[in-house]
Amino acid sequence: MSLKNLNVLNFRTILTLATVVLSLVHLVQCQDVNDYNNQFNNPAVLPLITQVVYRQISNLTAVIGQDIGNQSSFCIKDWNADWNRAFNFSSNLDFLGSCIQKTNGDIIRRVCTAAEMKFYFNSFFERSESANYLRPNKNCNLTSWVSGCEPGWACSVGSNQQVDLNNAKVIPTRNLNCQACCEGFFCPHGITCMIPCPLGSYCPLATLNKTTGVCEPYSYQLPPGQPNHTCGGASTWADVSSSSELFCSAGSYCPTTTSRLTCSSGHYCRMGSTSEKSCFKLTSCNPNTANQNVQAYGVMLLAALSTLLLIIYNCSDQVLTARERRLAKSREAAARSARETAKARQRWRAAKDAAKKHASGLQAHLSQTFSRKKDGKDPEKLKILDRVKSDRDDNPLPPPHPSTSGASLPSNVTSGEHKKEPSDLMRIMHEIEDNPDNYQGFSIGTEDMSASAQVNVPKGKQTHTQIFKYAYAQLEKERAQQPENELLTFSGIVKLATHPETRKRPLIEVSFKDLTLTLKAKNKHLLRCVTGKIKPGRITAVMGPSGAGKTTFLSAVAGKAIGCTMTGLIHINGRNDSIHSYKKIIGFVPQDDIVHGNLTVEENLWFSAKCRLSTALSKLDKVLVVERVIEFLGLQTVRASLVGTVEKRGISGGQRKRVNVGLEMVMEPSLLILDEPTSGLDSASSQQLLRALRREALEGVNICMVVHQPSYALFKMFDDLILLAKGGLTVYHGPVKKVEEYFAGLGIKIPERVNPPDYFIDILEGIVMPGGSSGVIHEDLPVRWMLHNGYPLPPDMQQKAARLARSSMNATPANETDPAGAGMVEHSFAGELWQGMKSNVELQRDKIRLNFLKSKDLTNRRTPGVFHQYRYFLGRVGKQRLRESRIIAMDYLILLLAGACLGSIVKVTDQTFGAAAYTYTIIAVSLLCKIAALRSFSLDKLHYWRESASGMSSLAYFLSKDTIDHFNTVIKPAVYLSMFYFFTNPRSSFADNYFVLFCLVYCVTGIAYVLAIVFEPGTAQLWSVLLPVVLTLIATQPKDSEFMKIFANLCYPKWALEAFIISNAERYYGVWLITRCGSLLKSGYNLHEWSLCIVILILIGMVSRVIAFFCMMIFQKK
């Protein structure tokens, strides 16, 4: 090429580049499309024009957001963010460039202004009957209907009219140059402008189906009478239930609003998707798939969880059994060591006694006269001192805690008071010699009596083996001393009284005078004019025929009599104190064997000891107390056995009865009241129980018990007897030794080979008439007792007393009137009904008053506080739940099946955001979790009533149950969702669904607590089934009245369902924006109220628990 040609080429290139640069500078300065005349087909200029158009369209966000945002705030959290998700086309603006070329740059005059968009979007909030028609407006009305008013078409504004897209008030006149809507835009029916299609939609140009006359893929038809009118673009954007033609179809994805691609293999595309999502591993995703098939995960989880639950079902007991086996080995080793030590000590004592005997015999031979004088003076004292000395020499450890009673009194005899021992000794001997019948026992320190059999326990934390060695060494020592204590020889009594480390429990003497209890409802006497006292260190038996008021008498003494009017006096230690002030050192054994069946014997006793013994006691002392009770009640062989329930066999009935008594013995009471403890026991078991109680009496415990016709051997083991006749009148109250003597004085002699208790009961029942010529009848026995003791007689009994005084007259009482029935007044039906209602109200008032009664503590025993008891309750409930793990495993398995069934049958639909599936979920989870939560309190009511009456913390009991149930609250939602979520595959995340379901389970568990406490088990189960169904129906029905709205707001399913739907609806954006707002508007839900729903569910659960706790405190056994 020549130099001349080269210069010409360079000049042309430079000139072209300069022209382009100058054009670009000019285009940058232009802010309106009209400034780019005749440059729309220029490839270099078109992108710049497209950016200018897109910038003007994007500016509509702020304008529309201010006006429409207020109306749509319930369905849109951040208008700018949601608008950008729907109309952010910055990644691909090809559809704008195509439209600019098609309209020859007239796009801005065809795009809807802010006023027209407001007009269109506001139509969705007006609930019009059809989403395809708009209200008449300036451009489309009865007098003006251009072709641009038809669906899929749009018109332009006149060239002489300035268009301001941000004008939100005035709709411009737009009726010129009407033509088909551009691709990527939709032109609604009844408006003459174009609106960009949102992301997730597919808006191609329509094609006419000549067969049907429908413009496909849309559903509108060509207007009649307009042969030049053709199919246009997209027609309407509405919620998916009204019109789904704009939505990108399921199984495909639309990266732009003008292109649609088929979902490839290994991916899935939901309706309205802008991109394809990869499927999880192990899931099958064929081409053109809308959802990934994650049922394989569900099946795997179902198999894994079912296997795990089966393992738990079959091996749950092994966790506690292994631990119990280890403790049993330590205990057996300690017992074996203690027995060997005791045998070695016995051999040593035998050798030492033989040596002493040989030495004393040698001394007698050497000085016979001197030894006779000395033997006549000092042998008993020498024996006592030698015994004490040997005991002290054998003691390898310092004495344990001076008292195993948290409220024990200071010891009367201490190591620093040896000089006072002779005077105390003489006083005790003189008292015994002067009045041996009034001997009331001695306080034998349970720890101190065995102080010589301790083991070296290191300071600090002790092992189980060391603790058991200590306890069994003490027990072996006590067993060796038991024969001497039972004989109570003079030397033994002196030893017990003068032991330097003896300690006593606080003594409680209960005296009562003219004690009368009258039933309020029927004005009937249950007890009448009962006077006497029950003394510490003695066992008092209360006997009488049925209806004599024996249990009523015990309830009155224990301060548990409710629904009665009580008159007379009850004094504690001679003072007018409330018996409730001594609650911590009073044990009450109910007639029913109220023992936890899913705990072992040792666990039952150990829990009672931890909660009721003094906090000043060490663990060593508490273990010793429990071991001693197990030893004396003969429960060693069954200590590790479950007590058993109705469904599961445990220990025998007699052993269960002894455990029932042991629960009160382990707290070292000063007053022990027992209601028929020997009922159901054979003679041997009854005597074993009485021997254990006799040992308690030797420590100064005041024991009063109701018995039914005991054997003669058992009868002779009692110290005192209270014999009641029908009507609660006293027939005899005094020592058992003198009862036969008293009745013989009345002319009633017991026949030979007849058990005295049986004979007395038969007489009081009227079965046997007293023999002899005394003329005594059983109705006269209470009067004779009152006359015998000089007690004042009630007015209605003075007639009998007068008849008895006329000893010369042989009158019969056949014609006497019944004074009790003489004063009876017959009421009408209404009067009786009123009296019954009044009595029930008074009874409930007495129950509440008794439950919330606060009395000053006079025992000085510091028992564990609420926090420590909460820990003890937590451990107990945890063990019970482990032993009930089979039932819990079945609960989980049922939840798994429920989730799998509901997930397979009910699908989460896009139209309602899964409202139907979540509704069934709420019903199923509420029903299953409520029924399971009923077991927490329905089955333990009797146990709670007994424990709360003994002074245990109700708050600790309730909180421990609720805390353990939180495990189910955490696990059950995950168990259910592991099936339901993977079978339905909703758009909301697993975490969102879990959190809502967690709050729902927490809520319904609290409601179940109320039902379990207030109602009987059968009624509570019925309510648990009925409530979820009824409340869910109310929450999902249309609220036509204000009352129904208020009532629905009180139903927890309303808030749970709203939280579920909101969590799911937030995942729908882009083309789903109108569907989201329409569905939430129809349901009355608010996207901002998710936190409120969660708070209300938790609040209902908390309020329900507070109500349940107070109901637990108020509602007591009838």
When mean pLDDT is compared across 550-564, 714-728, 740-754, 797-811, the lowest value belongs to 797-811
**Tokens found for residue 418:** 């040896």
pLDDT at 1057 over 90: yes
DSSP code string of 705-735: EE-SS--HHHHTT-SEEEEEETTTEEEEEEE
Q: Which token pair is 162?
A: 């300035």
Residue 809 pLDDT exceeds 60: no
For position 931, what pLDDT does the model report?
92
Q: Which residue would you say has higher pLDDT here, 193 or 329?
A: 193
| Predicted local distance difference test score (pLDDT) of residue 158 | 82
Strands 277-278 and 539-543: unpaired
Q: What is the mean pLDDT of residues 302-321?
A: 70
Confidence of residue 970 (pLDDT cuts 50, 70, 90): very high
In Å, the largest CA–CA distance within the chain is: 174
Between CA 463 and CA 454 the distance in angstroms is 15
At residue 820, the pLDDT reads 42
Q: Tell me the DSSP string of 367-419.
A: -HHHHHHHHHHSHHHHHHHHHHHHHHHT--S----S-SSTTPPPPSS-TT-GG
pLDDT band of residue 1105 (cuts 50, 70, 90) is very high
Whole-number pLDDT of residue 430: 43
Q: What does the pLDDT look like over 441-472, one tens digit per residue?
A: 443 333 333 333 334 444 555 665 666 666 66
Q: What is the mean pLDDT of residues 14-40?
A: 48
Rounded to an integer, the average pLDDT of 726-742 is 90
> Which residue, 489, 500, 502, is CA-closest to 385?
500
Cα first-last separation, the chain:
121
* Distance separating alpha carbons of residues 587 and 612, to the nearest angstrom: 10
Which residues, 6 or more positions from 329, have their beta carbon under 8 angstroms from its beta carbon? none
pLDDT at residue number 993: 93
pLDDT value at 137 more than 80: yes
Q: DSSP of 252-298, one letter per residue?
A: EEEEETTEEEEPPTTEE--TT-SS-EEPPTT-B--TT-SS-B-HHHH
Distance in angstroms (rounded) separating the CA atoms of residues 978 and 892? 11
C-alpha to C-alpha distance for 969 and 979, rounded to whole angstroms: 17
93-107, 307-321, 605-619: least confident range: 307-321
Beta bridge partners, 378, equal none
Q: How confident is the model at residue 997 (pLDDT cuts 50, 70, 90)?
A: very high
Question: Measuring CA to CA, which residue among 436, 312, 502 is closest to residue 893?
Answer: 312
Q: Specify whether the CB–CB gap between 223 and 233 falls below 8 A.
A: no
Main-chain phi, psi angles of 125, to 5 degrees: -90, -5
- Alpha-carbon 922 to chain mean position: 20
Q: Work out the angle between the directed axes of helices 990-1014 and 1017-1036 (0-180°, nearest 10).
A: 140
Please tell me the predicted confidence (pLDDT) of residue 168.
Answer: 77
The amino acid present at 471, given as its one-letter code, is A
Over residues 1082-1086, the mean pLDDT reads: 86
pTM of structure: 0.78
What are 460's two structure tokens? Answer: 């600090």
DSSP state of 247: B
The DSSP 8-state label assigned to residue 138 in this structure reads: S
- Per residue in 236-295, pLDDT (tens digit) is 888 888 788 889 988 899 999 889 999 988 888 888 898 888 887 777 788 888 877 766
- pLDDT over 90 percentage in the chain: 20
Residues in the chain, total: 1118
Q: How sure is the predictor about 783, in pLDDT bands with cuts at 50, 70 and 90?
A: confident
Higher-confidence residue: 288 or 356? Answer: 288
Cα 1015 vs. chain centroid, distance in angstroms?
16
Token digits of residue 1060: 């579920």
pLDDT bracket for residue 15 (50, 70, 90): very low
Q: Where are the beta strands (DSSP E) in 803-848?
A: none
- What is the pLDDT at residue 623? 86
The label of the residue with tokens 């150990």 reads 606
Query: pLDDT at residue 1113 above 70?
Result: yes
Round to whole Å and give the CA distance between 509 and 596: 32
Write out pLDDT tens, residues 370-411.
444 444 444 433 333 343 333 333 333 333 333 444 433 333
- What is the predicted pLDDT for the residue at 443? 38
CA distance 219 to 206: 10
The predicted structure's pLDDT at residue 458 = 45
pLDDT confidence of residue 4: 45
Residues 186/164, Cβ–Cβ less than 8 Å? no
Instruction: Give the mean pLDDT of 76-103.
Output: 85
Beta bridge partners of 729: 725
Dump pLDDT digits (tens) for 1024-1034: 999 999 999 99
Q: Around 1030, how many Cα atoms within 13 Å sit in the side-chain half-sphere? A: 8
Please indicate whether residue 227 or residue 958 has the higher confidence score (pLDDT): 958
The overall average pLDDT reported for the chain is: 78
- pLDDT at residue number 477: 65
What is the structure's pLDDT at 241?
Answer: 81
pLDDT digit string, tens, across residues 827-848: 566 666 666 666 666 666 666 6
Q: Is the pLDDT of residue 188 over 80?
A: yes
pLDDT band at 40 (very low <50, low <70, confident <90, very high): low
Tokens describing residue 397: 């450890």
- Report CA Rg, the chain: 47
Is the pLDDT at 134 greater than 70, yes or no?
Answer: yes
Region 747-766: mean pLDDT is: 87
Give the tens place of pLDDT for each residue, 885-930.
Answer: 888 888 888 998 899 889 888 888 888 888 899 999 999 999 999 9
- For helices 421-434 and 490-498, the axis angle rounded to 10 degrees is 140
Residue-level pLDDT at 534: 92
649-669, pLDDT tens digit by residue? 888 888 899 999 999 999 999
Which residues are CB-neighbours of 64 under 8 A, at least 6 positions away?
83, 114, 117, 118, 121, 168
Q: Is the pLDDT of residue 973 over 70?
A: yes
**Sign of the Cα pseudo-torsion (325, 871, 593, 678, in order):** positive
| pLDDT score recorded for residue 55 | 85
| The pLDDT of residue 956 | 94
